[in-house]
Chain A
Amino acid sequence: MSTPATAIDARGVGKVFASRTGTVTALEDVDLTVAAGEFVSLIGPSGCGKSTLLRLVADLDEPTSGELLVFGKAPRAAREAGDYGIAFQQAGLLPWRTVQANVELPLELHGVGRRARALRAADLLALVGLAEFADAFPHQLSGGMQQRVAIARALAEQPSLLLMDEPFGALDEMTRERMQTELVRISASSGAAVLFVTHSIPEAVFLSDRVVVMSPRPGRISGIVDVDLPGTADRSDGLREDAAFFAAVTAVREVLHGAPAPVAARGVDVR
C-alpha cells in the first residue's frame, strides 16, 4: 500500500461546541501537518483541545471550520477505509471477549477470515508480550496489560496512522515508562505515523519527533518543539538521563508556560 507523504494535514481547523449556556470554542485556527511515519505528541493543560483535535482526525467529531485531510482524504473517507488504528485512555476492551477475540475485533468487523485473524492476533500478542494470555478475559489482566491489548488491537490492521488519546494516563509511573519504551519500539517497527495525546512532558519528549504545545480558551497551538534526539527507533531507557533529553523537556516546559525561549534551547519554533 503506497501512502501519501503527509498523514495529517490541518489548515485553520476550528471546533465550536454548542451548549446550553452558549458556545464553547474548543479549537481555533489549528495548522498542523504530520508526515507519514512521524511521531507527534499533543500536549497541554485540560481544555486545550488536544483530545478534540485527535477526535476530529479520527472523524469521531466534525470540525466546524477549516480544512482537515487524512492521507489526502476527508477524515470520514479515511475512517471508512480503515486508515488508522485508535487507542483511548480507557483500554475499552469488550469484557465478554477473550484477549485474542478483542485483538481480532477490527479484523472481524472488516470481514477477515477466522484463520487469518487468529494468525494476526498471535503475532500482535507476541509483539506486546502477551502471547500466553490469548485465552484470558480482560478482567484477569492488570491495567497495563489491558492497555497493551488495546494497542495490539489498534495495530491489528497495520494502519499507517495510530491515534492515541492518553493511552498511558491511568497507569502508574513504572508501568508507564515501560509502556513508553515498548511503544517506541512498536511504532518504529510498524512505520506508522502516530498522533499521541498526553499531559506528561517527559512522555511527550521521550516518544516524539515533534511536540505540539497547546493552550486553552480557546484551544490553539502555542508552539511546536522539534525534539533533537536520536531517531525514535534508537531510543531506550538510558535516554531518560541524557542531557539532551532534559534540554528538550525544558524547551517544552517553557513553551507550555509561556516563558521566553532561552538561547540554549534547540529547534524551538514558537508561533
Chain B
Amino acid sequence: MRAAQVRRWLAPALVGVVALALWQALVVAADLKPYLLPSPTAIAEQLGQVRPLVWSATLATGANALVGLLVGAATAILAALLAARSRSVDLLLSPTAAAVSVMPIVALAPALNTMFGTTSSTPRRLVVAVVVFAPVFVTTLRGLRQVQPVHRDLLRAYAATPRQAARTVTLPGAVPYVFSGLRVASATAVVAAVVAEYFGGLQNGLGSRITAAASNSAYARAWAFVLGAILLGLTFYVVTLALERAVTRRHGG
C-alpha cells in the first residue's frame, strides 16, 4: 500500500524532473533567446523576485473563478431541476445550454467589459459563470433522469408522492453526476478567468500580469505567472475531485 503510493507519485515526479532538465539543457545548448523560451532557472529566479505579486494575482483570479463557478453551477443545477420537471422547460433550456456551451469567451469578454466598465470584476465572473453553466447543466440533467427502473417500481409500489420521490431517490441519485460536471467545470473555470483578463479591465489578475509582462519583454516573469495559473487550475481540480471522491465513496462507487 505504502510502496504502491510512493511508486504512484514517483513516476510522474521523475518525468517532470527529467523534462525540466531537458528544457534547461535545450535552452543553454541551443542558446535560445528568452522571448522564444526562457530557461527553468530563469523562471524560478523571477518567481522568487515577484512571489508576492504572483500570490496576489493568483488570489484575484482564484476569487473570480470561484465566484463564477459557484454562480454558474448554482444556476445550472436550478435550470436542470426545472428541465427535469417539465418537458416544455427542457425544450426551452437544452438548446439554450447547447448555444451557451459554444459561445466563445474571447468574444464575450470585451463585450462584457464595455457593459460593466473596466474597474469591475463582474465581467470576468460572468464569463466564468457562462463557461461553467453548460457542463454542469448537462450532467445534472442526465443524473436527474437516471432513475433505475427498480427504484421507479419501488416508489410506485409504495405510492410515493412526486415530492417524496424527488427527495428520496431522484435528487440523491443525481449528486454524483453533479460532481462529475463540477470537476470538468472547475478546470475550465480557471482557464476562463485567466483568458477573460486578457481583454483589459482591472490589472490585478494572472491574465493581466501575463500580458503585461510579455509586452514589457519580461518573458521569464510572464512564465512565472503562467506557473501560478497552472497551480491555481490544479488546486480547483484537486479540490472538486476530492469532493467527488468523498461523495461517490458514500454511494459505493
Chain A residues in the interface with B (C-beta under 8 A):
58-60, 79-80, 82, 84, 86, 88, 90, 92, 94-97, 105-106, 108-110, 137-140
Asked whether B150 lies within 8 Å of A92 as measured between CB atoms, the reply is yes
Min C-beta distance of A71 to chain B, whole Å: 15
Asked whether B252 lies within 8 Å of A137 as measured between CB atoms, the reply is yes
Asked whether A95 lies within 8 Å of B157 as measured between CB atoms, the reply is no
Min C-beta distance of B166 to chain A, whole Å: 12
Asked whether B158 lies within 8 Å of A109 as measured between CB atoms, the reply is yes
Can you give 18 A-B contacts (C-beta < 8 A)? A58-B153, A59-B157, A60-B156, A80-B159, A88-B153, A92-B150, A95-B251, A96-B172, A96-B173, A96-B251, A105-B158, A106-B158, A108-B168, A109-B168, A137-B250, A138-B252, A139-B252, A140-B252
Min C-beta distance of A160 to chain B, whole Å: 15
CA distance A96 to B170 in the complex (A): 12
B164's nearest neighbour on chain A, judged by CB, is A109
CA distance A149 to B125 in the complex (A): 48
Contacts of A90 in B (CB 8 A): 148, 150
CA distance A59 to B155 in the complex (A): 12
CA distance A110 to B168 in the complex (A): 13
Contacts of A94 in B (CB 8 A): 151, 168-169, 172
Asked whether A96 lies within 8 Å of B250 as measured between CB atoms, the reply is yes
CA distance A92 to B164 in the complex (A): 17
Asked whether B169 lies within 8 Å of A82 as measured between CB atoms, the reply is no
Question: Counting CB contacts under 8 A, is B89 at the interface?
Answer: no
Asked whether A109 lies within 8 Å of B159 as measured between CB atoms, the reply is yes
Q: What range describes how many residues of B lie at the interface?
A: 10 to 19
Contact digits for B52-94, partner A, Cβ 8 Å, 1 yes 0 no: 0000000000000000000000000000000000000000000
CA distance A95 to B172 in the complex (A): 9
Asked whether A109 lies within 8 Å of B160 as measured between CB atoms, the reply is yes
Given A92-B148, A95-B252, A109-B168: A82 and B159 interface contact (C-beta under 8 Å) = yes
Given A96-B250, A105-B168, A109-B168: A79 and B159 interface contact (C-beta under 8 Å) = yes
Contacts of B251 in A (CB 8 A): 95-96, 139
How many A-B residue pairs lie within 8 Å, measured between CB atoms? 56
CA distance A106 to B159 in the complex (A): 9
Chain B residues in the interface with A (C-beta under 8 A):
148, 150-151, 153-154, 156-160, 164, 168-169, 172-173, 175, 250-252
Min C-beta distance of B4 to chain A, whole Å: 23
Contacts of A60 in B (CB 8 A): 153, 156-157
Asked whether B157 lies within 8 Å of A96 as measured between CB atoms, the reply is no
Contacts of B175 in A (CB 8 A): 96
Contacts of B153 in A (CB 8 A): 58, 60, 86, 88, 92
CA distance A132 to B251 in the complex (A): 20
CA distance A90 to B154 in the complex (A): 11
CA distance A108 to B154 in the complex (A): 13
Contacts of A92 in B (CB 8 A): 148, 150-151, 153-154
CA distance A109 to B154 in the complex (A): 11
Contacts of A84 in B (CB 8 A): 157
Contacts of B159 in A (CB 8 A): 79-80, 82, 109
Min C-beta distance of A75 to chain B, whole Å: 11
Min C-beta distance of A102 to chain B, whole Å: 10
CA distance A79 to B160 in the complex (A): 11
Which one of B157, B164, B172, B252 has the highest number of Cβ atoms from chain A below 10 Å of its Cβ? Answer: B157
Given A95-B251, A139-B252: A58 and B157 interface contact (C-beta under 8 Å) = yes
- 20 extra interface residue pairs, beta carbon distance < 8 Å, beyond A90-B150, A109-B159: A59-B156, A60-B156, A79-B156, A80-B159, A86-B154, A86-B157, A88-B153, A88-B154, A92-B148, A92-B150, A92-B153, A92-B154, A94-B151, A96-B173, A96-B175, A108-B168, A109-B160, A109-B164, A109-B168, A137-B250
Min C-beta distance of B182 to chain A, whole Å: 17
A137's nearest neighbour on chain B, judged by CB, is B252
Contacts of A82 in B (CB 8 A): 158-159
A163's nearest neighbour on chain B, judged by CB, is B157
